[in-house]
Amino acid sequence: MKLTDILKEIESIQPETFENATGRRDILKNLGIKVAAFATPFAAASLLSNKASAKTTDILAEAIVFALSISYMQSALYTKALATSGLIPASAVNDFTKILKDKNSHVAYWKYQLQATNNIVPAQPTYDFTAKNALPKAMTDYGTFLTVAHAIEDVGVRVYLTAVNMLLSNKAFRTDAVNIATTNARHAAHVRMQRRNLGVDMMAWVVGTEPNSIVGEIKKAYQNEDNTTQLKINTVGINGFAISFNAATGAFDEPMTDTDAKIFMTPFID
Amino acid sequence: MKEVTTQDQTTHESASLSRRKFLNYAGVIAGAGLLIASCKKDDVQPTADDDTINLGSNDTGLLNYAYLLQQLEAAFYIQVLKTPYSGMTKTEEGIFTQIRDHEIVHRELLKNYLGTNGIPPTIENDWSSIDFSLKSSVMAKAKFFEEVSVAGLNGICRLVIAEEHLVTLAKMSVVDARHSAVINDLITPGTFAEKTDDNGFEVSQDPQSSIDITKKFFKKNITGINLPKY
């Protein structure tokens, strides 16, 4: 029996207990379920290679580890940036401090849930935000930093959309994931508008695959963001309204596959 | 055509399988389209009489509430741009225009998807609490509508059964959250995520309390009495 089936049964029997976070943990503990099968040691690669062990790994734990992988990266980015003297202008320090606080909470929350359900918590990798010198000024030039930051924020939104979907069978966890997804979207919008304020022609939302504003490793954040079909319905010019490609793609963020996420994240991991 | 039941059991059992497909092929959603058409006997279909619009039950009702939220936002921004407040900057106009178009896409998508299960497409608004000639009034309401929409969509995401409904609504909600952040920053810089709780989570809202807030912006009464509950 898969864990999702067990959870579903518990949910149908004790819906109130199950929806309560404490009750959820107790139930999982009492059943002694050990679901994640991530290889040790938890080098960076194992964090990103959970797909390989998908057959023996429960989908809920897999979703949480996937979400954690981008939250780890975000937390590390702002921790490092705020500690780098002269990178973030004084006027923006409060904003990035707030964002970092949220990211750290997301990391702590998922680590806690993995521990509480007897899953192994992957270690946080160390990062190189220059992506092996593809973006040499990532931590010295504010504009380059914002570019890296908005790409990582936009990927965060996309990874969480995938996590929401993977958490379908668990209402509490899926709600957690969607509530983090929209928080990440707020962060992404803010970072993008900071970059706009430096004179880059971009808005708070992602338009197509952003051909005009991206270079190198950043481009990988936007693979398959140019979807114009939602629920099998074409959104460009929908029902005769003057809806452009830009508006149609800007109206939705697209979930990111673990394959695409890995392509984006790997160059940034030491 | 394959018929898909909306009962919890079946959807949950298929979750793992369809997830594999999803990860390999995200963006293309399997099995869409017919879910809302296959209703159980005790389903309550949406109705609209002279005074009251009933959103209906199950996923259909929840999608109708999402549709109502997007109708509200789209109508608001259409009016903002039709009767701009004095001193609207080019930047503000550009932002409002793009947000308006996103809301129209959301609205029309749900209209088409719901088809005959949808509530009426143009429910007349009650704008008596808004002064469209005043920037402060427009900004305050834009902030309010975006925050209510994100919280409401996230609450709907908690309750929907079908996978493609969940992911599509979540995809809309994150863009409304981007709108919300921009509007908040326009009003007070740095408040882009002020609505999140101490743990950095958006505070989602259940449909019942959300409807209580939004229905006063419509001239007809709205009821979600048959909607799934938290």
pLDDT in tens, chain B (230 residues): 333 333 333 333 333 333 333 333 333 333 334 455 445 556 888 887 778 999 999 999 999 999 999 999 999 999 999 999 999 999 999 999 999 999 999 999 999 999 999 999 989 999 999 999 999 999 999 999 999 999 999 999 999 999 999 999 999 999 999 999 999 999 999 999 998 998 899 999 999 999 999 999 999 999 999 999 98
Position A213 scores a pLDDT of: 64
Position A58 scores a pLDDT of: 86
Percent of chain A with pLDDT over 70: 77
Nearest residue of A to residue B18, measured between CA atoms: A166
Residue B12 is encoded by which pair of tokens?
Answer: 């949950």
Position B27 scores a pLDDT of: 33
Helix (H, G, I), strand (E, B) or coil at A138: coil
Position B32 scores a pLDDT of: 39
Residue A156's nearest CA partner among A130, A126, A180, A127 is A180
Residue in B159, B172, B177 closest to A252 by CB = B172
Kindly report, residue by residue over A197-247, the tens digit of the pLDDT: 999 989 999 999 886 666 778 989 998 999 999 999 999 999 999 999 999
**Distance in angstroms (rounded) separating the CA atoms of residues A267 and B167:** 28
Residue A23's nearest CA partner among A172, A176, A166, A169 is A172
pLDDT at A5 over 80: no
Strand partners, B223: B54
Residue in B9, B26, B175 closest to A251 by CB = B175
- Residue A53 belongs to some domain of the structure: yes
Residue A55: which residues within 8 A CB-CB, separation 6 or more?
none
Segment A2-28 mean pLDDT: 41
Position A190 scores a pLDDT of: 98
Percent of chain A with pLDDT over 90: 73
Average pLDDT over chain A, rounded to an integer: 83
Among A185-194, A212-221, A251-260, B31-40, the least confident range: B31-40
Report the gap between the CA of A78 and the closest CA in chain B (Å). Answer: 15
Nearest residue of A to residue B14, measured between CA atoms: A169
In this prediction, residue A117 has a pLDDT band, given cuts at 50, 70 and 90, of confident
Cβ-defined contact of A180 to B108 (cutoff 8 Å): no
Cβ-defined contact of A169 to B15 (cutoff 8 Å): yes
DSSP B54: E
Cβ-defined contact of A243 to B104 (cutoff 8 Å): yes
Structural domain total, chain A: 1
**Domain at B8-223, CATH class:** mainly alpha
- Residue A27 belongs to some domain of the structure: no
Helix (H, G, I), strand (E, B) or coil at B208: helix
Position B17 scores a pLDDT of: 34
Q: What is the DSSP string of B30-55?
A: TT-SSGGG---TT----EE-SSEEE-
- Assign residue A145 the CATH number of its domain: 1.20.1260.10
Segment A248-259 mean pLDDT: 97
- Residue A16 belongs to some domain of the structure: no
Say which residue the tokens 């969480």 belong to. Answer: A160
Position A212 scores a pLDDT of: 60
**Distance in angstroms (rounded) separating the CA atoms of residues B177 and B205:** 14
- Residue A29 belongs to some domain of the structure: no
Position B217 scores a pLDDT of: 98
Position B165 scores a pLDDT of: 98
- Residue A145 belongs to some domain of the structure: yes
Segment A7-29 mean pLDDT: 41
Residue A259: which residues within 8 A CB-CB, separation 6 or more?
A51, B23, B24
Q: Does B199 touch chain A (CB under 8 A)?
A: yes
Residue B196 is encoded by which pair of tokens?
Answer: 């999140």
Q: How far apart are the first and last CA of chain A?
A: 38
Position B20 scores a pLDDT of: 37
pLDDT at A124 over 90: yes
Position B49 scores a pLDDT of: 78
- Residues spanned by the domain of A262: 34-268
- Tell me the domain boundaries of chain B: 8-223
Residue A103 is encoded by which pair of tokens?
Answer: 């990211």
Which among A16, A64, A231 is the top mutation candidate for probing chain B, defined by the most B β-carbons within 10 Å of its own β-carbon? A231
Q: Does B168 touch chain A (CB under 8 A)?
A: yes
- Whether the ipTM is more than 0.90: the answer is no
Report the gap between the CA of A15 and the closest CA in chain B (Å). Answer: 11
On whether the CB atoms of residues B23 and A261 are closer than 8 A, the answer is: no
Residue in B106, B108, B171 closest to A239 by CB = B108
Kindly report, residue by residue over A27-59, the tens digit of the pLDDT: 343 333 333 333 222 333 344 444 333 333 489
Residues in chain A: 270
Helices (H), chain B: 8-13, 15-24, 58-82, 90-114, 135-159, 163-187, 207-214
pLDDT at A22 over 60: no
